[in-house]
Amino acid sequence: MRIVFTDLDGTLLDHETYRYSAACPALKALRRRDIPLILVSSKTRAELEPLAQQLELSHPLIPENGSAVFIPLDYFPTKLLGPEWQQRGRYRVLTLGQPYDQIRAALAQIKTALANTPVRGFGDWSVAEVAAATGLSPDEAARARQREYSEPFTCEAQPDLLRGVVAAVSGSRQSAGLSRVPLSLQRGGRFWCLTGPADKGQAVSILLSCYRRQYGPVTSLGLGDGPNDLPLLQSVDQAVVIPGQRLQELWDQRQSHWSLAPAPGPEGWNEAVLSWLEHAPLSLSLNSAEAGA
């Protein structure tokens, strides 16, 4: 069995327009072969569901940087999933992160510690402000604010200072019953993101284990464009880095099973997936990919 795990913004979706039309040939090829395409994103479940419908996908979803795994009911036999998988609506859900209210409480402590530096999360913004900051439509921005486990935010502090404050908050005694809430700080294409102790790789590995128990040997492909995709790329059999704004930072951590797509965004995604389907490995150097970008 073959499976594809993909990041969205800057990977399957164009970073600026959020369009995926250039990837349609590979998307159709995956559908023809009945190869599951798993969306693994910092986006919320409310954002992933309509996109999955557009793409004609009925597979599990991994939202908010790996904070949970949502598997449609009856996708796997009930006995395959343990009691830790809770039924929620039309899904069985494994929660790996922290509830949103705890993440927001932690962000409030970070704001206090950085009193002279503005810190604003999606929970502080109106729908119109989120739309203006992201280029999303009002409806899309409203779905982006329907967060369950994580909080994107802006902060002008130096990265090392911010990371130090987050580490201090994570290890401190929390108020309102929030004792030692473990936190993870990730940087995406537009925002910092505060989450619990979860990442894309952990969620991908758990889902791969489910597929293997049900179907036997699995060959997996992962695609991403930023440092927050590193755990995803480390968890699959073959990984493809899509050239983007933070290419060098990610490529510096490359491993032997990684390749570089020949173009950014959905164009590069399309070529990489078609190449994988035809068993033709990509063998581009970083310089040649930058030239193509």
- Per-residue pLDDT of the chain (293 residues), as tens digits, is 999 999 999 999 999 899 999 999 999 999 999 999 999 999 999 999 999 999 999 999 999 999 999 999 999 998 999 899 999 999 999 999 999 999 999 999 999 999 889 999 999 999 999 999 999 999 999 999 999 999 999 998 898 999 999 988 887 644 444 446 789 998 877 889 999 989 999 999 999 999 999 999 999 999 999 888 999 999 999 999 999 888 888 889 888 899 999 999 999 999 999 999 998 555 444 444 443 33
Instruction: Look at residue 215 in the predicted model and tell me its pLDDT.
Output: 96
- For residues 150 and 193, the answer to whether their CB atoms sit within 8 Å is yes
**Catalytic member of 7, 199, 225, 229:** 7
Instruction: Look at residue 179 in the predicted model and tell me its pLDDT.
Output: 47
CA distance 95 to 101: 15
Q: Kindly state the tokens that stand for 141.
A: 């921005």
What is the model's pTM?
Answer: 0.90
In terms of DSSP H, where are the helices of 135-199? 138-144, 159-171
Instruction: Look at residue 279 in the predicted model and tell me its pLDDT.
Output: 80
Instruction: Look at residue 118 in the predicted model and tell me its pLDDT.
Output: 92
Q: Kindly state the tokens that stand for 32.
A: 């023809």
User: Helices (H), strands (E): how many in the chain?
Assistant: 11, 13
Instruction: Look at residue 282 in the predicted model and tell me its pLDDT.
Output: 53
Instruction: Look at residue 190 in the predicted model and tell me its pLDDT.
Output: 81
Which of 154, 131, 133 has the alpha carbon at shortest distance from 142?
A: 131
Strand order in the sheet with 2-6: 86-88, 91-95, 68-72, 61-62, 37-40, 2-6, 219-224, 238-241, 258-260
160 in catalytic set: no
Q: What are the φ/ψ torsions at residue 197 (nearest 5 degrees)?
A: -80, 65
Distance from first CA to last CA of the chain, Å, rounded? 32
The alpha carbon dihedral of 174, 176, 181, 185 has a sign of negative
